Structure 1
Amino acid sequence: MVIVEYIDETFEGPSILPKDPYDRAIARFWIKFFEDKGSAVGTSFFHKSEKAKEEVCEMLKILDNELKDKKFFVGDKFGFADIAANFLGLWMGILEEATGIILVTKEKYPNFYAWRNEYINGNKEYLPSRDELLAFFKARFQAAATPPYSN
């Protein structure tokens, strides 16, 4: 995220960080939140940790509440905090499908679910191929589940 902030401050074009100091602080708060809480996402899928799964569900509850009556994390347009949530917007759905461990449902986290759909649909041209990522992770999880060859 430091590199994204550097690019934002160095190059011409519309800023991804809000101009308002308060909104900028809120964006940085969410970035720190994602950095602090995000490791539980990978742990819940790759290590199938129930404790990590509970941490992710708690995080999703907080995010769902934050996104109530909002389209994006800060303000009314896609920005820095939304970019920081990429691992939730794109990767988490792929890992859910690859493993069969479903953490996000429309019923349980409707606001986050709507944000995730908006994130994916609004950024398709910039995101890696979902089908290729899904095939990669399905193969990876299948290989991890297959016992090694023995004599």
Structure 2
Amino acid sequence: MSDHDFFVPDGFEVPVELVGDGFRLEPLGEQHNERDLAAWSGSIAHVRATPGFGDGAWPPPEAVSAERNLADLARHARDFAARTGFTYSVLDGDDVVGCVYVYPGRKDPDRVHVSSWVRADRAALDRPLYEAVSRWLAEVWPFEPQRIVYAAR
């Protein structure tokens, strides 16, 4: 198989952290469950209004159980370990304030679909997060710029 058959090349070391002004990213995992659930479920309307989330697929209109959220986090962690998609918690200290997703496009797997959200009470962080992640993708990740789809802020 060629590198083109994989989301990221075999030799690429996937970043496990990005530190920005007022936030840091770390891989989303089961340890974030309670804080992640509280973050998005307390900001459903805000997340749905965030560029890149207008299709209504996520988040659901109502909060889900902690068990269902945990299953979603476990799936994201498996994707990360398998190098098929990468989800990061956006943290301020230990407080979950959002998420960043880097996945192959659903309709066009040659595209890189990137999305991010922050809690409603951290809305001012949305643009700086977008700008930092955009730079990070350009400087660190192995994706050609024309392949990246990330809704502008």
Tell me, yes or no, whether TM beats 0.5: no
Normalised to the residue count of structure 2, the TM-score between the two structures is 0.26
Say which structure, 1 or 2, has more relative contact order (CA 8 Å, 6+ apart). 2
Structure whose CA Rg is larger = 1
Q: Which has the higher helix share?
A: 1
Q: Which has the higher strand share?
A: 2
Normalised to the residue count of structure 1, the TM-score between the two structures is 0.27
